[in-house]
Structure 1
């Protein structure tokens, strides 16, 4: 009898939690779109969006254009970036069995940033002829993964701590190379690239949203499809082998998938660190007995939207890079997790 009551109570709290999350998902775009230099209320945002959907030709006011052309694409890109980075963090922490694994600490983000900055800096030369920004970022991310795997030694499946240390070393190396490229760039290009490498959603456009949203959606579906194998790998390679999981193949596949996600996001909004580290841990604290991939992605998206709101509203005359805020929060969270592991 008591067991049934506990199960019913768990189901009730789970239903309430999901209902609250769905309500927050519906309200967040309206609230986030109301913040900015132009003061537009939440109800005005809802009214302008409704008029635009009903009759786009008549909703040509300045406020309508601000909401539809500037703020709403920015909110969607921020949500997509947060969901993708949180998903990458969950995958990396699962396949390496290391709670400190993250696209930023693993070197993937730095490698993607280097590839993207290389394409922008050397655009028009024979060195990067024919390469687009996402392609350069993806090649840089893949190079980072290859370096991490090679530095980890041949017994990669058992040396997860060494993989993390290798990722930190590779991250610093690509960071130094990116700084070198910025140093030899023109002052105007260096200023623009420096702000971009710190993370920003200011350049979000409707025409370019389809690629990051499509990549993150496909990756989310693939990870959900491999959920049983990922959870088996958290118990150790031997346990996963016993359950029929091809550990090495799955680990390489997931690393390439994380590289694709990170490279696509870096190419569209620059380098944003520590989101993949923080969000999976926060979700585990909120729901300790379940590891929901979808919940991790949704919480990551909401977190990034409100970090972006803070970045563009903290100072009255200028905008803070998003990566500065996430790095400040993430460094403190990293120390917290490190101390908790040492106890």
Structure 2
């Protein structure tokens, strides 16, 4: 009997994905996701499902590794260039968590506009009289600035414009020729200076590291809010904390951080005008199931010589088939 493939998932996946792998694969979940722990497993692994950031040298002793699948979208968790150099196919799941993140961002915007993150605590501590000082915001006619106009950015824009009558200002590094008419494309500076809410949906690249810096935050309205459910590295934390402390920004909703996990004594956790969530925007029951099933399918495809739906480094595919003596089905 042919031995089972050994598949390492950096953390647990949904049972639907585990069940798909079970007939042909042994699924292994390490006791923790520290870099040294993951390195210890690499020599005897056929495929890797990625849910945490991998160290750049993870492939140095991974002679058997044939497939790397991102349980989600962001490729900054994977050293793709090193994988490509090693001849290892990398796949991700571009639309697996779009709806989940869109809904999280819209919910976070609501929470900021209506003080949902603060009012319950104030009510418990100070009583009914807190309503005398309450002044929530209505969204209709206000401007939301969206940095990054991919699937999630467009989803947020559509929900807020059509659902609540918000004006949409958009900025994207890439030219978007087919954007809906209701999105006004403008400069990054204009997005920050003219928006009432700013939400980040750009990928983390060397060019976008600390994109939100002191200079940009110096342009915002003092009553504006910032939402980040993309990548923590997009924001210069010291600049954001300074803007919040000096009341040059009304508040923020942050789901991602650099580094993660967020330290227990981090200043964000001490501020009542910052809504903090632990990188959960993409983690609904439905999206986790989609990501797990999609990851399992991509692993099985690659291990059997079938090109996965979203192969990130297609230039190595033919070499991969030759190296492992596989035939791609016609």
Greater RCO (Cα-Cα under 8 Å, separation 6 or more): 1
Query: Do these two structures clear the TM 0.5 threshold for a shared fold by scoring above it?
Result: no
TM normalised by structure 1 equals 0.28
- Structure number having the greater helix percentage: 1
